[in-house]
Amino acid sequence: MPEGAADGRIEGFLDLDLDRAQRRGAPEAVLCDAKSVEQVAAIAAEYARLHAEGRDDLGPVLFTRADADRAEAVLAALPDAFHDPAARLLAWPAAPPEPTGGLVIVACAGTSDLPAAREAELTARYLGRPTRLIADIGIAGLHRLLNRLPELREAACVVVAAGMDGALPTVVAGQISAPVVALPTSVGYGVASGGVTAALTMLSACAPGIGVVNIDNGYGAGHLAAQIARWAPAPIL
Amino acid sequence: MPEGAADGRIEGFLDLDLDRAQRRGAPEAVLCDAKSVEQVAAIAAEYARLHAEGRDDLGPVLFTRADADRAEAVLAALPDAFHDPAARLLAWPAAPPEPTGGLVIVACAGTSDLPAAREAELTARYLGRPTRLIADIGIAGLHRLLNRLPELREAACVVVAAGMDGALPTVVAGQISAPVVALPTSVGYGVASGGVTAALTMLSACAPGIGVVNIDNGYGAGHLAAQIARWAPAPIL
Amino acid sequence: MPEGAADGRIEGFLDLDLDRAQRRGAPEAVLCDAKSVEQVAAIAAEYARLHAEGRDDLGPVLFTRADADRAEAVLAALPDAFHDPAARLLAWPAAPPEPTGGLVIVACAGTSDLPAAREAELTARYLGRPTRLIADIGIAGLHRLLNRLPELREAACVVVAAGMDGALPTVVAGQISAPVVALPTSVGYGVASGGVTAALTMLSACAPGIGVVNIDNGYGAGHLAAQIARWAPAPIL
Amino acid sequence: MPEGAADGRIEGFLDLDLDRAQRRGAPEAVLCDAKSVEQVAAIAAEYARLHAEGRDDLGPVLFTRADADRAEAVLAALPDAFHDPAARLLAWPAAPPEPTGGLVIVACAGTSDLPAAREAELTARYLGRPTRLIADIGIAGLHRLLNRLPELREAACVVVAAGMDGALPTVVAGQISAPVVALPTSVGYGVASGGVTAALTMLSACAPGIGVVNIDNGYGAGHLAAQIARWAPAPIL
Amino acid sequence: MPEGAADGRIEGFLDLDLDRAQRRGAPEAVLCDAKSVEQVAAIAAEYARLHAEGRDDLGPVLFTRADADRAEAVLAALPDAFHDPAARLLAWPAAPPEPTGGLVIVACAGTSDLPAAREAELTARYLGRPTRLIADIGIAGLHRLLNRLPELREAACVVVAAGMDGALPTVVAGQISAPVVALPTSVGYGVASGGVTAALTMLSACAPGIGVVNIDNGYGAGHLAAQIARWAPAPIL
Amino acid sequence: MPEGAADGRIEGFLDLDLDRAQRRGAPEAVLCDAKSVEQVAAIAAEYARLHAEGRDDLGPVLFTRADADRAEAVLAALPDAFHDPAARLLAWPAAPPEPTGGLVIVACAGTSDLPAAREAELTARYLGRPTRLIADIGIAGLHRLLNRLPELREAACVVVAAGMDGALPTVVAGQISAPVVALPTSVGYGVASGGVTAALTMLSACAPGIGVVNIDNGYGAGHLAAQIARWAPAPIL
Amino acid sequence: MPEGAADGRIEGFLDLDLDRAQRRGAPEAVLCDAKSVEQVAAIAAEYARLHAEGRDDLGPVLFTRADADRAEAVLAALPDAFHDPAARLLAWPAAPPEPTGGLVIVACAGTSDLPAAREAELTARYLGRPTRLIADIGIAGLHRLLNRLPELREAACVVVAAGMDGALPTVVAGQISAPVVALPTSVGYGVASGGVTAALTMLSACAPGIGVVNIDNGYGAGHLAAQIARWAPAPIL
Amino acid sequence: MPEGAADGRIEGFLDLDLDRAQRRGAPEAVLCDAKSVEQVAAIAAEYARLHAEGRDDLGPVLFTRADADRAEAVLAALPDAFHDPAARLLAWPAAPPEPTGGLVIVACAGTSDLPAAREAELTARYLGRPTRLIADIGIAGLHRLLNRLPELREAACVVVAAGMDGALPTVVAGQISAPVVALPTSVGYGVASGGVTAALTMLSACAPGIGVVNIDNGYGAGHLAAQIARWAPAPIL
Tell me the chain E residues in contact with residue G223 when contact means C-beta distances shorter than 8 Å: 208-209
Please tell me the predicted confidence (pLDDT) of residue G68.
Answer: 97
Q: Do F216 and C144 touch (CB under 8 A)?
A: no
Q: Is the pLDDT of residue B176 over 80?
A: yes
Q: Tell me, what's the pLDDT at F13?
A: 55
| A97-111, B212-226, E183-197, G20-34: the lowest-pLDDT one | G20-34
G184: helix, strand or coil: strand
Q: Which chains touch D (3 or more CB pairs under 8 A)?
A: A, B, E, G
How is the beta sheet containing F131-134 ordered, strand by strand?
F131-134, F104-108, F157-162, F180-184, F210-212, H210-212, H180-184, H157-162, H104-108, H131-134
Judging contacts by C-beta atoms under 8 Å, the chain H residues touching residue A9 are 136
- Set of chain B residues whose Cβ sits within 8 Å of the Cβ of C217: 189-190
Which of G144, G187, G190 minimises the CB distance to H15?
G144
Please judge whether A34 and H114 are an interchain contact, meaning their C-beta atoms are less than 8 angstroms apart.
no
Nearest Cα to Cα of residue C181 among C153, C164, C203: C203
For residue B122, the distance in angstroms to the closest alpha carbon of chain D comes to: 15
Q: What is the mean pLDDT of chain A?
A: 89
Q: Report the chain F residue with the minimal C-alpha distance to residue H233.
A: F231
CB contact under 8 A, E190 and B217: yes
Secondary structure (H, E, C), E129-161: CCEEEECCCCCCCHHHHHHCHHHHCCCCEEEEE
C-alpha span between D57 and H116 (Å, rounded): 60
How far apart are the C-alpha atoms of G74 and G69, rounded to whole Å?
Answer: 9
Report the residue from A138, A146, A197 with minimal CB separation from B204: A197
Interface test with A, best of H146, H165, H191, H201 (most A CBs within 10 A): H191
Task: Reply yes or no on domain H104-228 having CATH 3.40.50.1970.
Answer: yes
In A156-208, alpha helices (H): 168-173, 196-203
On whether the CB atoms of residues F31 and F64 are closer than 8 A, the answer is: yes
Cα–Cα nearest to H136, from H127, H125, H128, H145: H145
Range name among A90-99, G33-42, H61-70 with the lowest pLDDT average: G33-42
- Nearest Cα residue to A155 out of A141, A175, A127, A184: A175
Query: Which amino acid, D237?
Result: L
Domain with CATH 3.40.50.1970 in chain H: 104-228
pLDDT in tens, C162-189: 999 999 999 999 999 999 999 999 988 9
F–H CB contacts, 8 A cutoff, strictly below: 100
Q: Which residue has the higher pLDDT, H116 or G54?
A: H116
Smallest Cβ–Cβ distance between B214 and the set E144, E187, E190 belongs to E190
Does F212 contact H212 at a Cβ distance shorter than 8 Å? yes
Chain C residue with Cα closest to F42: C111
Contact between residue F104 and residue F129 where contact means Cβ atoms under 8 Å apart: yes
Whether B170 sits inside 8 A of A140 (CB atoms) is yes
Using 50, 70 and 90 to split pLDDT, how confident is the model at G199? very high
Long-range contacts of C11-19 (CB under 8 A, 24+ apart): C12/B135, C13/B110, C13/B111, C13/B114, C13/B135, C13/B136, C13/C39, C14/B110, C14/B111, C14/B135, C14/B136, C14/C39, C14/C42, C14/C43, C15/B136, C15/B144, C16/C43, C16/C46, C17/B140, C17/B141, C17/B144, C18/C58
Higher pLDDT, C73 or F1: C73
pLDDT for position C143: 83
User: What's the burial of H2, exposed, middle or buried (CB within 10 Å: 0-12/13-18/19+)?
Assistant: exposed
Alpha carbon distance D74, G59 (integer Å): 47
Interface of F with E (CB under 8 A): 110-112, 114, 133, 135-136, 140-141, 144, 163, 187-193
Question: How much is the average pLDDT of F125-153?
Answer: 90
DSSP G58: -
CB contact under 8 Å between C190 and F216, yes or no, is yes
Q: Which of B49, B52, B50, B42 is CA-nearest to residue B73?
A: B42
| Length of chain B as a residue count | 237
Answer whether C174 sits within 8 Å of H203, measured CB to CB.
Answer: no
Residues whose CB is less than 8 angstroms from the CB of residue C39 and which lie 6 or more positions away in sequence, other chains included: B111, C13, C14
Q: In chain F, where does the domain assigned CATH 3.40.50.1970 lie?
A: 104-231
Nearest CA in chain G to F204: G165
Interface contacts (A, C; CB < 8 Å): 99
The pLDDT, as a whole number, for residue E6 is: 58
Residue in G with minimal Cα distance to F209: G140
Q: Which residues of E touch G25 (CB under 8 A)?
A: 177
Q: What is residue A19's predicted lDDT score, i.e. its pLDDT? A: 61
Average pLDDT over residues B173-190: 94
Chain F: give the shortest CA distance to residue C112, in Å. 5
Report how far residue A108's alpha carbon sits from residue A185's, in angstroms, rounded to the nearest whole number: 10
Average the pLDDT over each of C34-38, D95-99, D179-183, H27-31 and give the range with the smallest value.
H27-31
In this prediction the ipTM stands at: 0.92
pLDDT at position G9 over 90:
no
User: Please, what is the average pLDDT of chain B?
Assistant: 89
Residue of G nearest to E203 (CA): G214
State the pLDDT confidence band at D3, using cuts at 50, 70 and 90: very low
Does the structure show a pLDDT above 60 at C130? yes
pLDDT digits (tens, 9 = 90+) for B5-47: 456 666 555 566 666 666 666 777 899 988 889 989 999 999 9
**Which chains share 3+ C-beta pairs under 8 angstroms with F?**
C, E, G, H
If pLDDT is split at 50, 70 and 90, which confidence band does B144 have?
confident
CA distance C235 to E44: 71
Q: Which residue of B has its CA nearest to D150?
A: B23
pLDDT tens digits for G65-100?
A: 999 999 999 999 999 999 999 999 999 999 999 999
Angstrom distance (rounded) from CA D124 to CA A145:
29
Instruction: Tell me the three-class secondary structure of E177-194, residue by residue.
Output: CCCEEEEECCCCCHHHHH
Closest CB from A138, A174, A200 relative to B206: A138
pTM of the model: 0.93
CB contact under 8 A, G201 and F206: no
Cα separation, F109 vs G207, whole angstroms: 12
Quote the mean pLDDT of chain D.
Answer: 89
Residue E133: CB atoms within 10 Å: 18
CA nearest to C143, candidates F61, H174, H150 = H174
Question: Given an 8 Å threshold on Cβ–Cβ distance, is E141 in contact with B20?
Answer: yes
Across the interface, which of D111, D163, D192 has its CB nearest the CB of G13? D111
pLDDT for the residue numbered A2: 41
Is the Cβ pair F12, C135 closer than 8 Å? yes
Model confidence at H9, pLDDT cuts 50, 70, 90, reads: low
Buried b (16+ CB within 10 A) or exposed e, G54-84: eeeebbbbbbbbbeeebbebbbebbeebbbb
Tell me whether residues B17 and E190 touch, CB distance under 8 A.
no
Return the residue in E24, E30, E31 with the most chain F beta carbons within 10 A, the one to mutate for interface testing. E31
F118 has a pLDDT exceeding 70: yes
Closest approach of G125 to chain H, Cα-based (Å): 18
| Cβ–Cβ < 8 Å for E87, E118 | yes
The secondary structure of residue F192, as a DSSP letter, is: G
Nearest Cα residue in chain H from F214? H203
Mutation for E interface: B7, B11, B13, B36, most E CBs within 10 A = B13
Inter-chain touch F26–H214, beta carbons under 8 Å:
no
* C99-106 mean pLDDT: 97
Q: Where are the beta strands (DSSP E) in chain A?
A: 9-10, 14-15, 29-31, 61-64, 82-84, 89-92, 104-108, 131-134, 157-162, 180-184, 210-212
Average pLDDT of C113-134? 96
Helix, coil or strand: residue A222:
helix
Strand order through the sheet with E82-84: E29-31, E61-64, E89-92, E82-84
Question: Cβ F194–C192 below 8 Å, yes or no?
Answer: no
Residues of chain C whose beta carbon is less than 8 angstroms from a beta carbon of chain F are: 110-112, 114, 133, 135-136, 140-141, 144, 163, 187-193
- Indicate the pLDDT class of residue B68, thresholds 50, 70 and 90: very high
Q: What is the model's pLDDT at position E187? A: 86
Name chain H contacts of F175, Cβ cutoff 8 Å.
23-24
Q: Do C195 and B192 touch (CB under 8 A)?
A: no
Q: Is the domain F104-231 a CATH 3.40.50.300 member?
A: no
Q: Are residues B165 and A202, on separate chains, in Cβ contact within 8 Å?
A: yes
Cα distance from D223 to chain B (closest Cα, Å)?
6
pLDDT, tens digit, 9 for 90 and up, residues D158-167: 999 999 999 9
| pLDDT tens digits along A14-45 | 566 666 666 666 777 899 988 889 989 999 99
